[in-house]
Structure 1
Amino acid sequence: MASKGLAQPLIRYITKKSYGTAVTPALKEARIQCTVLPSCTFVAALDNGSPVTRITVAFKAGSRYEPVTEPGISHVLRAAAGLTTAHCSQFLTARQLAQIGANVTASGDREFLYYTLETTGDHLGEAMDYFNNMISGQEFRPWELSDMAPKLRYDIASLSPQVRAVDLLHKAAFRRGLGNSLYCSPKRIGSYSSESLQHYASSSLTPNRCAITVVGDCQDKAVLLSQALRLPSSGAEACTEKTQYYGGEHRKETAGEVAHIAVALPGAASGTPQALAFAIAAKALGSGPVCKWGVDQSPLARAIGNIGPFAVAGFNASYSDAGLIGFVLSVPKDEAGVAVKAAANVLKGAKLNAKDIKAGKAALRNHILTEFENGTTSAESLAAQGLYTGIAKTSADLANDVNAISDNDVLSAVNSAASFKLSMAAVGNLAFVPFVDEL
């Protein structure tokens, strides 16, 4: 199953198979149906005429909700999707889903855990039965958990250094809660018991912490699945300490000749106008060259100048009660000091003009509309919106919201963040990387 390393709208770090859906006129006319059931489960549907139906069941079970004694358990829960359930074995589940051409993925971020089913409409009923068992019938048998160790090690070993830097950046910025890593420590692999996983699942995978979304079919399918799920009914509402931004630094030395640095200031909570303003600012800061082998003309790249090969991009991450706005930089170790100081000055100084902000708006609208062309991404996005705000918007509505943000809104948001301490995380050869208090 897949792992999601970065939260919206840093686009999620995700590795999974996805079906493509052609854009048809029906997509423009489709509207979202959404409601909240008596069980407090949010359900939504977008019937866009797609021949492939995608169902996402999301829970407030991300890494921020992990017990302090079990860090990394959400990673293990993601990886355990598809193991033997109370009704069928791991082999039977995989075989039957393959026979009908269905695909199930599990992914997650700091807030949510997502289970997503992809199948054609004529096999939806049968696929939903196995999908239901995978979510609400898990048994976490000890010998199967032991067999998962190589998979967990591969998940960790395959992380890119940029993702590692952003993961450490959250730790530096928030310490606990949102600062919890998306991945378990290699030293803790094999230490999670069946009882621990069962307790975490039974307390987190509950109806009042759940959202079910359907893309390619009607809302009745989401309601039907919510009624079929055998989830504990006594789960407590997700509650955590109020997130506090601290500002700090984490460094991890590794071999190589390149340094990967992530720097950020506090952003805004998801669903607020300020969050959109920060998202525009992140795009305005730069996202790399707009064409292959092209020259990066973003504010960050202009500030760094002609120092040799480097890559830099702004990012924004918004959560239920906090956020981050910053940049990720990969640069040869000898040039790291000059490059990171120049980029940090752009971030702190809010050196964005009207032309930069206009380009940022266009890039963000394009990103939103492009993401929604992917059925799986749109299903997970609708679920996240429902859990964040209690409503779900189409890509066109979100693009209109972006248009409503003024240049002054963007500059005010970035200026308000500049008064806080910087947070920084660095991975790689850090011989010439300055410390955060030197920026």
Structure 2
Amino acid sequence: MASKALSNPLFQYVAKRGYAGALALPAATEAKIQSCVTATNTLVASLENGSPVTRITVAFKAGSRYEPPTETGIAHLLRSAAGLTTGNASSFIIARKLAQAGASVTASGDREFLYYTLETTQANLNGAIECLHNLVSCQEFRPWEISDITPRLKYDIVSLSPQIRAIDLLHKAAYRTGLGNSLFMSPRRIGSFSSESLQHFAQTTVIPSRCAVVVVGDSQEKGLLIAQALQLPCANTEAYCKPTKYFGGEMRKEMGGDLAHVALALPGLEANNPGALALAVAAKALGSGPSTKWGADHSLLSQAIGNIGPFAAAGFNVSYSDGGLFGVVLSAPKDEVCNAVKAVAKLLKNCPLDSNSIAAGKNQLKLQVLTEAENGTALAESLAAQGLYTGSVKSPTALAHAISSISDSDVVGALQKISACKLSMGSVGNLAFVPWVDEL
């Protein structure tokens, strides 16, 4: 059978949150978020923004950090198995009904969560919700169907950009297990998971107490009906979850070529820590490339690296339920990467942010938050992640106000908390001149 990995599938399988266009809300309208927790500990949230397209995200704490040590990569397989035959409907029926309704479902995930996101018009909402229920509820994993998605798993791996590979290795170096587990299974493990192993992982993670339902473009009542209609198993055992511990270290993967791609980071702060937002501001203040197309980059990162060959560098901050990473991802010519990496490491350890840089970082972060809010799919998945992280949700406007209220001392204080910690590094490409982390 020919692989369909390069076609435009009805079900999309991605490793990061999917994106789709949405109509912007008129500026005069202030949509309010409603949220509650059901009797089964499922968080339900809704945002009625007047959009003719409704997005529904059903999220679970089923990311790669919950993989048992002997089954690393199984979260990737579960993400890719979305849309296979369940106890309620065959894969053909699910796909057929979604096509007739003009709806689509995206299965995506990160280290913490697995997201199933439905997009459909208001006129076809009820029929599309039935398909979402069939897709999420009573999942069954037939061995012959699992083997059919092998080409998709291989394509996911070979299509990874070197920057994503570097950040993936960075997590492994920093945390080893748990948050250090890769978002993608090793190529050597493709085809090694049994349907029983996948079923067990799903039955301990895809359960009501680890679930959040978010509706963007419809009412809270609709969200409650969706949550109540889900037929999810009640776990007899807890999902594997090892407490996060930051180790620091280095992972390298030699791939040749003319460039080296390096991700350097210090331990960040957890998602419910107020300092995490301050670190997000600091990451933007460090720089993320030119502000105009083909323009010059005058960021702190660019000034620190200096005049070398063509390079790209951007600050980043990721926060999880009990940890995080604050750092820089860098791509540079192999012959000049040594000085660039040393300059970035020095900048991370002694981050000289002034009030102007912090103000610019706050403005850029607010723009990112509000721009992503115009994308209904990204907004629904972001609200679901908020709910699972903290038990509550904030609107994009509230987040923008929270960013505005961050003071210079908050940013400096958050950086001081992590500056003395050990660096972690992940690198791929031509590593002949990439320094080792203990040389930085």
Q: Distance in 1 between matches of 2:172 and 2:66?
A: 14
Partner of 1:162: 163
SS of 1:29's equivalent in the other structure is coil
SS of 2:55's equivalent in the other structure is strand
Matched residues, number: 430
Q: Distance in 2 between matches of 1:94 and 1:399?
A: 39
Which structure 2 residue ranges, 5 or more long, are not aligned?
Answer: 1-10
Partner of 2:22: 20
Partner of 1:327: 328
Partner of 2:258: 257
Q: How does 1:287-302 map to 2 (within 5 A)?
A: 287-302=288-303
Q: Distance in 1 between matches of 2:238 and 2:38?
A: 15
Q: Offset at 1:403? A: 1.2
SS of 1:334's equivalent in the other structure is coil
Q: Does 1:45 align with 2:24?
A: no
Q: Offset at 1:233? A: 2.5
Partner of 1:178: 179
Partner of 1:70: 71
Q: In the alignment, is the contact (CA less than 8 A) between 2:267 and 2:325 conserved in 1?
A: yes
Q: How does 1:90-169 map to 2 (within 5 A)?
A: 90-169=91-170
Aligned in 2, Cα 1:35/1:276: closer, same or farther, shift over 3 Å? Answer: same
Q: Offset at 1:404? A: 1.4
Partner of 2:273: 272
Q: Distance in 2 between matches of 1:215 and 1:413?
A: 33
Deviation per residue, 1:231-276 (Å, 9 max, x gap): 1134556662321111000000002100000000011000221100
AA in 2 matched with 1:276: L
Q: Does 1:427 align with 2:428?
A: yes
Q: In the alignment, is the contact (CA less than 8 A) between 2:203 and 2:235 conserved in 1?
A: no
Q: Distance in 1 between matches of 2:325 and 2:39?
A: 34
Q: In the alignment, is the contact (CA less than 8 A) between 1:3 and 1:108 conserved in 2?
A: no
Q: In the alignment, is the contact (CA less than 8 A) between 1:58 and 1:211 conserved in 2?
A: yes
Q: In the alignment, is the contact (CA less than 8 A) between 1:206 and 1:235 conserved in 2?
A: no
Partner of 2:357: 356
Q: Offset at 1:25? A: 3.6
Q: Distance in 1 between matches of 2:13 and 2:270?
A: 23
Q: In the alignment, is the contact (CA less than 8 A) between 1:53 and 1:215 conserved in 2?
A: yes
Q: Distance in 2 between matches of 1:202 and 1:230?
A: 12
Deviation per residue, 1:6-42 (Å, 9 max, x gap): xxxxxxx44x46132233246x411000001111000
Deviation per residue, 1:351-381 (Å, 9 max, x gap): 2111111111011010100111100000001
Identity %: 61
Superposed CA RMSD: 1.3
Q: Distance in 1 between matches of 2:387 and 2:422?
A: 32
Q: Distance in 1 between matches of 2:382 and 2:360?
A: 24
Aligned in 2, Cα 1:147/1:3: closer, same or farther, shift over 3 Å? Answer: closer
Q: Distance in 2 between matches of 1:72 and 1:314?
A: 28
Partner of 2:30: 29
Give the alignment's TM-score, normalised by structure 2: 0.95
SS of 1:361's equivalent in the other structure is helix
Q: Distance in 2 between matches of 1:345 and 1:4?
A: 35
Task: Please say which of residues 48-57 and 120-129 is displaced more in the overlay.
Answer: 120-129
Partner of 1:244: 245
AA in 2 matched with 1:18: A
SS of 1:280's equivalent in the other structure is helix
> Where in structure 1 do 4 or more consecutive aligned residues deviate above 6 Å?
none
